[in-house]
Structure 1
């Protein structure tokens, strides 16, 4: 029996045959909420440099890293091991991470766009992460143009709704699990909060997606592929026409589970004042309205409290 797999999409074909790409995208995301994105134009060299500098940061002494743990709800800087917990989970996630947001000059248009926090000990972390942020932000905007067309809007629908979103680049380290008393899940089953997520990095096994049949399906990170998934904000906006799929990170079997896992998700957020009320074309007799109106900021705060980043 063939094991189900998450589909891959060639983003370069969007410019060549827009209608065909949008149809492929719609089929992939309505079934899975996830897809691998190939030919995205982000250089392998940049990704390798980003992985190297993040490893250098997470290799710093614990006391050094904790100097960059700020009382800001985890929005910028370092968050230590054992802080975040998936909604309704029994155990904290086995990870540490660093949040990088938009680099703003002058007065930001929204107060949520706070200054970044940079580690003095690894000066190359800042330029590399800002370069990767810029490239992933461009790719996310291209994906949003395709999603807009799929849901019957103009391609530029999201342009003035996500241009100042509090998007986050999250260099992420799952340390080796050598204690048999710890759970075998590095990040508990969850859905992402934001519009869409782009995942760069780990080619190690462990990322799993819950299929519509209720089966956990592993995602193999093919070299050069970036994983893109729908988040809860886009799910709310589209009244589940585009589903936000449950996923988790488990500890790989054998020796792979005794080594660190590194990855870099980019969480594309809507502008704080964007309405997440269901679009009228996504509400039908067969698919009645499933969500109450809210704004992106109010929904984000609700979810951050649930996962322990905001008290």
Structure 2
């Protein structure tokens, strides 16, 4: 079957979901989820004042002295939370030209000897000292908590749009206070002469939903349609870019579409691009293959009409057979072999039998 495709990213108005125009919103959402896998969300419930605060803090973090940031290096953390220098992460076999700090929502690691290894993945974040960046931790924590709350409500709307009960996906979240969602602050510097333009290479996200705040006006995010064409997803003020993760695609048997995307570095001589993605977590101990969701015939017909996509990836294939936590852990190991070598030596040896690679690939 020939796949239909998209040439732009739909813009949805979240406020419509709160009133009499909810059916219109659900219809638009269903199209975006099945046929695109990406959407802009405007008039969302995260306070504009909080969004502006976290935007203001983003460049301030990266302006800290290098030694101050290096104290927070990700290699310190068995949770893969912390700071990564420029060109420290690898995607699709190439080095990403970005600097970032990965942060999780508040969570105490419960791993003990003998537990399943992936339960080490969730735990405490590393934060700069208050004296180095006053108010940063409080604002970022409040922001990620607010986006997490939005993500739960949005997932209910997504379920409804696909003809399911609003709580049909709740089994994968379990108790929301028992989840460690992840987010990051990212800086993409302008291309240096002779350097790659790969801000981050083509990839899919894990889990269920991603909510991306594009902090600056710099373009760079691109989404790959079913023909393999790259569609610009430029910043739109007051919106999140929302996309489907491989976990949600797996549990819906490809009804919800995870879509490949990448970021190109800003051009030579321009300013840096900043962004803040939030990744909605799902319970570590669920096997997505153990669940069967019964979609109405019209939704199955829409999936069939979409046809086969021509872009795929081997990453997160474990979602189809194993624990969700293991799928996420393996993805982190492949992206950050230096962290894996220190904290997960057995997995490191499995995926890097010849030792630390010059290049590696999560995808």
Provide the aligned C-alpha RMSD in A.
2.8
1:263 alignment counterpart: 275
Of 12, 15, 36, 2:15 maps to: 12
CA distance in 2, matches of 1:95, 1:298: 26
2:123 alignment counterpart: 114
1:150 alignment counterpart: 161
Structure 1 residue 308 and structure 2 residue 317: aligned? no
User: For structure 1, which runs of at least 5 residues remain unmatched after alignment?
Assistant: none
Structure 1 residue 245 and structure 2 residue 256: aligned? no
Between 215-224 and 20-29, report the one with greater CA deviation.
20-29
Shift of residue 134 of structure 1? 1.2
Shift of residue 10 of structure 1? 0.9
Shift of residue 199 of structure 1? 0.4
CA distance in 2, matches of 1:156, 1:147: 10
Name the CA shift for 1:73/1:95 in 2 (closer, same or farther; >3 Å).
Answer: farther
User: For structure 2, which runs of at least 5 residues remain unmatched after alignment?
Assistant: 1-5, 112-118, 309-316, 341-347, 349-363
Structure 1 residue 64 and structure 2 residue 68: aligned? yes
Answer whether contact 1:166 1:272 (CA < 8 A) is retained: no
Shift of residue 160 of structure 1? 4.7
TM, length-normalised to structure 2:
0.76
CA distance in 1, matches of 2:170, 2:281: 12
Max radius of gyration: which structure?
2
Answer whether contact 1:230 1:242 (CA < 8 A) is retained: yes
Shift of residue 280 of structure 1? 4.4
Aligned residues: 303
Shift of residue 254 of structure 1? 6.0
Answer whether contact 2:251 2:292 (CA < 8 A) is retained: yes
2:321 alignment counterpart: 293
Answer whether contact 1:184 1:251 (CA < 8 A) is retained: yes
Cα deviation digits, residues 142-193 of structure 1 (max 9, x gap):
2111122234432123335322332112111112222x22112211111111
CA distance in 1, matches of 2:122, 2:141: 15
The structure that is helix-richer by fraction is: 2
1:129 alignment counterpart: 140
Aligned-partner SS, 1:266: strand
1:161 alignment counterpart: 172
